[in-house]
Amino acid sequence: MKKVLPITESPFELYHSNAYPLTIILNNKDTVEWLYCNYIHLFYIEKQDIDPLWFYCPDYKGRFYNSFLPWLDYQVLDKNTIKDLNIDILSLVKYSIDNEQYVSLFWDEFYVPNGISRGNMHIWQRTLIYGYDDASNLLYTYSEKSNSRLETCLVSYEDFKLSFYSSYIKGFPYVYIMKLDANRQYKFDVKSVITQIKDYLSSRDITESQRESFNPHEGVKFGFSIYDCIRDYLNTVSIRNTLHYHKTLNILSEHKKIMLQRIQYMQNNGYLEISSTYFKDYETVYKTSNALSSMFLKYNISRNEAIISRIILKVNEISVKEKVILNELVGELSKNSFKN
């Protein structure tokens, strides 16, 4: 038997907890309106050298990031439960897919073809499984590859079992089973977008409104204040040899990408004048941000400190241009929203 569920490209790649659920839900055109009402805010964890910059997508437990999207129904199984009940993981995956459910879990990249593992390194990473083929004994998986991109990879049943059971050694205890809620509805809410952009521009700590449920987090910056944090981060010599430094610049670029797509959506759907220059103006912000990671790669090769200085200048340029554009954008959206 063979069954392959649909997936599509996610607007984000760096953090798999964001990418995989979006890869599932964006097959449904109704989810696009929800997408463009989210992923506006950023947060930065001070004194954290590894991956300090994230999209702000809170969950019900007060964490700043959330892979549990409202468009998906979830079942979460502990690996120890699977082991203690003597459940065959391959049978569980195939049963889930037969019932239109995707499976996300951690595996050992050592056993995965074209994975991110190098030589004899055992690296545990999250993957998404969306299909199987009994004729060839292959699973359809979607995960990060050696080129740092998310791609489809066919993995043999045997290699999959080795990769899954090997990851027991290091923990990573959960298996996520996800199914699209096709009955859910959501309409684009321009007032929510206006509020979120205002919060972003003012660097408001939006967790303050959740104090009845969660204590405030210390050492976290929100919204526009992340630019000061990034500049300080770039000036920290001790972290310049890490890939996480590079990832921070890529997150900045992913944010500008989704903001640009949001502007295009609003122009195409009558929230902004189609003749307005917001898309063209913000496109320069995105293109500048997209060049930063390449600049950092050049620094990694040459160790020319002047490149770091140029990156910081570009970050300053992005922040100045973005503030002007978004302030004008909020004014235009507010005016049109009031008319409606």
Contact 103, 176 (CB under 8 A): yes
Which pLDDT score, from 0 to 100, does residue 62 have? 54
Q: Can you give the pLDDT of all 340 residues of the chain as single tens digits?
A: 999 999 998 888 877 878 899 999 999 988 999 999 999 999 999 888 778 898 887 665 555 565 678 899 999 999 889 888 999 999 999 999 999 999 999 988 888 876 666 566 777 888 999 999 999 999 999 988 766 678 898 999 999 998 898 766 566 788 999 999 989 999 999 999 999 999 999 999 887 777 777 777 788 899 999 999 999 888 875 555 655 567 889 999 999 999 999 999 999 999 999 889 999 999 999 999 999 988 988 888 888 889 999 999 999 999 999 999 999 999 999 987 655 5
Which pLDDT score, from 0 to 100, does residue 235 have? 84
Look up residue 224 and give its DSSP letter. G
Which pLDDT score, from 0 to 100, does residue 71 have? 92
DSSP, collapsed to helix, strand or coil, labels residue 321 as helix
The helix or strand, by DSSP H or E, that contains position 141, with its residue range, turns out to be strand 138-144
Look up residue 305 and give its DSSP letter. H
DSSP, collapsed to helix, strand or coil, labels residue 220 as strand
Is 298 buried (19+), middle (13-18) or exposed (0-12) by CB count in 10 A? middle
Q: Pairing state of beta strands 72-78 and 174-180?
A: antiparallel
**CA-to-CA distance for 280 and 283, rounded, in angstroms?**
5
Contact 3, 134 (CB under 8 A): no
Q: Give the CA angle between residues 129, 130, 134 to the nearest 5°.
A: 95
| Joined tokens for residue 111 | 């056993």
Which pLDDT score, from 0 to 100, does residue 205 have? 87
Which pLDDT score, from 0 to 100, does residue 339 have? 56
Contacts (Cβ under 8 Å, ≥6 apart) of 51 = 244, 247, 248
Look-up: residue for tokens 């003012």? 202
Which pLDDT score, from 0 to 100, does residue 293 have? 86
Is 150 buried (19+), middle (13-18) or exposed (0-12) by CB count in 10 A? buried
DSSP, collapsed to helix, strand or coil, labels residue 150 as strand
**318-319-320-323 Cα dihedral, nearest 10 degrees:** 120
**CA-to-CA distance for 255 and 179, rounded, in angstroms?**
27
Per DSSP, helices labelled H in the chain are 16-25, 32-35, 79-84, 89-98, 157-166, 190-202, 226-234, 243-268, 278-290, 292-302, 305-339
The helix or strand, by DSSP H or E, that contains position 47, with its residue range, turns out to be none
Contact 14, 247 (CB under 8 A): yes
Look-up: residue for tokens 């001070």? 46
